Amino acid sequence: MNFFARLLLSHLLVIVLAVGGVFVSAELLAPAFYRAHVEDMTAMLGAESTSMRADLERGMRQTLTRALGAALPLSVLVAAVTAYLSSRRVVGGVRALQEGSRALAQGHYDQRLPARGRDELAELARHFNQLAGALAQVEQGRTELIGNVAHELRAPLTALRGYADALEDQMLPATHASRAIGREVSAMERLVRDLSLVSRVEARQIELQLQALPPARLLDAASERFAPAFEDRGVALHVLGGQGLPDVLADEERALQVLTNLLSNALRHTPRGGVVRLDAEVAGPLLRLTVTDTGPGLSPEHLRRIFERFYRVDAARSRLDGGSGVGLTIARGLAEAMGGALSAASVPGQGSTFCFSLPLARP
Interacting residues of 8 by C-beta distance below 8 A, sequence separation 6+: 83, 84, 87
Please write the tens of the pLDDT for every residue from 154-173.
777 888 888 888 877 777 78
Asked if residues 340 and 359 have their Cβ atoms less than 8 Å apart, the reply is yes
Contact (CB, 8 A) for 358 and 340: yes
CA atoms within 13 A on the CB side of 294: 12
> In this structure, which amino acid lies at residue 81?
V
Integer Cα distance of 171 and 157 in angstroms: 19
Separation in Å, CA 57 to CA 37, 46, 65 = 9, 17, 12
CA–CA gap between residue 55 and residue 357 (Å, rounded): 94
Helix H or strand E segment including 326: none
Decide the pairing of beta strands 352-359 and 286-293.
antiparallel
In this predicted model, what pLDDT tens digit does every residue of 119-137 receive, in sequence order? 777 788 888 888 888 888 7
Nearest to 163 by CA among 183, 148, 149: 183
Least Cα distance to 262 among 295, 285, 301, 234 occurs for 295
Q: pTM surpassing 0.95?
A: no
Q: Tell me: the pLDDT tens digits for 200-216?
A: 877 777 888 899 999 99
Higher pLDDT, 277 or 182: 277
Q: Which residues of 175-206 are buried (b: 16+ CB within 10 A; e: fewer)?
A: eebeebbeebeebeeebeebbebbeebeeeeb
Cβ-proximal residues to 260 (8 Å cutoff; 6+ apart), any chain: 222, 225, 226
Residue 154 phi, psi (nearest 5): -65, -40
Query: Which range is least confidently modeled, 130-134, 220-224, 226-230, 351-355?
Result: 130-134
Task: Tell me the C-alpha to C-alpha distance, in Å, between residue 306 and each of 266, 272, 311.
Answer: 13, 23, 6
pLDDT in tens, 32-77: 666 666 666 666 655 555 556 666 667 667 776 777 676 677 677 7
Report which DSSP code applies to 360. Answer: B
